[in-house]
A = this chain, B = another copy of it.
Amino acid sequence: MKKLFPEVPAKSAAKREATIVDVAEAAGVSKSTVSRVLSQPLKVSPNTRAQVLEVMDRLGYRVNVAARSLRTAKTSLAGLLVPAISNDVFGRIAEVLEEDLRQDGIGLLIMSSGWSASGQRLAIESFIARRVDALVVSLVDEHDSDVNSMLGSFGRPVVLLDREIRGLRADVVLTEQGNAIRAALEHLAQLGHRSVGLATISTTVRPGREAVSAFEAHADALGLQRVVEMVVPYERVGAWAGVDTWAGWEVGQRMIDAGATAILSCVPNSVTGGVLDFLRSRGLNIPEDISLIAFDESELASVKPPRLTVIGRSLDDIGHSASRMVVTRLANPGLAPRAATIKMRLHIQDSTAPPALSLSTVAQR
């Protein structure tokens, strides 16, 4: 046999990885049989199978994923696109998803869009170039036509995280905020608040729209005055270190200016952190001077005084749902698109209390 790689003669002799041919020789069967033990074990007689498995174990055989991929046109790789893997929410979802998929022999490539449309385009392109078998994506903008057409022609499973894209055949894991926002507003109304403000993420994505519409509907129903509805666009969440804090300060400023006695801060916790920072800088205490409800549990929400009242959800459930959708659809591509819904709940802690007599009084003193 002619040597194809004469430049690495040592390696081919010494530490070459075992292949199915090696296993076949050692087991006295054909490589077809060895291959079947790997991919269609039931088509091999129990005896032969056991023997082959024993030899594989002894030789430390590991399937060459590249070779298998080339043959099957499957990479056993999934892609996860999130705005930022360093974000507490997406970090946890990624962790759970990776763990689940690993059980099914699927590796997870994770990319961050950096909260930008261009970033999300590059990432999706990159995933497609790598021919991942499935995609789980949290888009920064549902209306990015480049991304939507890429996803549309992807031809493999796509799972959207809390996004709605018309005309795209995809499974989706939704978060249902409406009830929790209603509960939060009821809680505030009961405490005596009359003027409430909302900060939310971009309405170019479903959760932003849902927060706004739920806020409007339920505040009105409860007779609460909606003094602020502020959208914090994704560019202001994470383009560079510190912007999120700045965005939070602006939220705080506008809430105070408008006379809100309670803030629904339905934005990433890094932004809510900025809100807290601003309120502190103004000498305003939570909850005595102003009430605040945060979104998603986090270190921010759970520890420092006051512990924050939050609208929370199980991030683990989101990860598990996404993995289930990937695996199910990979096994059964014909299935109709499905939606799973994760419910948010209000967790009352220490950052909400009856309003100060008048916030303007407070701000002026």
| A110 in contact with B129 given A85-B85, A299-B270 (CB within 8 Å) | no
Residues in chain B near residue A54, CB distance under 8 A = none
Residues of A within 8 A of B (CB): 15, 62-67, 69-70, 75, 84-88, 91-92, 94-95, 98-99, 102, 107-112, 114, 126, 128-131, 155, 245, 269-270, 273-274, 276-277, 280, 298-300, 302-305, 307
Residues in chain B near residue A307, CB distance under 8 A = 277
Residues in chain B near residue A126, CB distance under 8 A = 102, 107
In the complex, which of the residues B62, B107, B245, B277 contacts A109, with contact meaning CB atoms closer than 8 Å? B107
Residues in chain B near residue A276, CB distance under 8 A = 303-305
Measured in the bound complex, the distance between the Cα atoms of B304 and A92 in whole Å is 22
User: What are 24 A-B contacts defined by CB distance under 8 Å?
Assistant: A63-B129, A65-B131, A66-B66, A66-B67, A66-B70, A84-B91, A85-B94, A86-B92, A87-B91, A88-B91, A91-B91, A102-B111, A107-B109, A107-B126, A245-B302, A270-B299, A273-B302, A274-B303, A276-B303, A277-B303, A280-B304, A299-B300, A300-B303, A304-B304
Residues in chain B near residue A85, CB distance under 8 A = 85, 91, 94-95, 98, 110
Measured in the bound complex, the distance between the Cα atoms of B95 and A88 in whole Å is 13
| A269 in contact with B299 given A66-B70, A85-B94, A110-B94 (CB within 8 Å) | yes
Extra contacts besides A87-B91, A276-B303, A300-B300 (5): CB < 8 Å:
A64-B70, A88-B91, A245-B302, A276-B305, A298-B299
Q: How far is the CB of A265 from chain B (nearest CB, A)?
A: 12
A-B interface, 10 closest residue pairs, ranked by CB to CB distance from nearest? A66-B69, A273-B303, A86-B91, A86-B92, A304-B304, A66-B70, A91-B91, A280-B305, A277-B303, A86-B95
Q: How far is the CB of A355 from chain B (nearest CB, A)?
A: 20
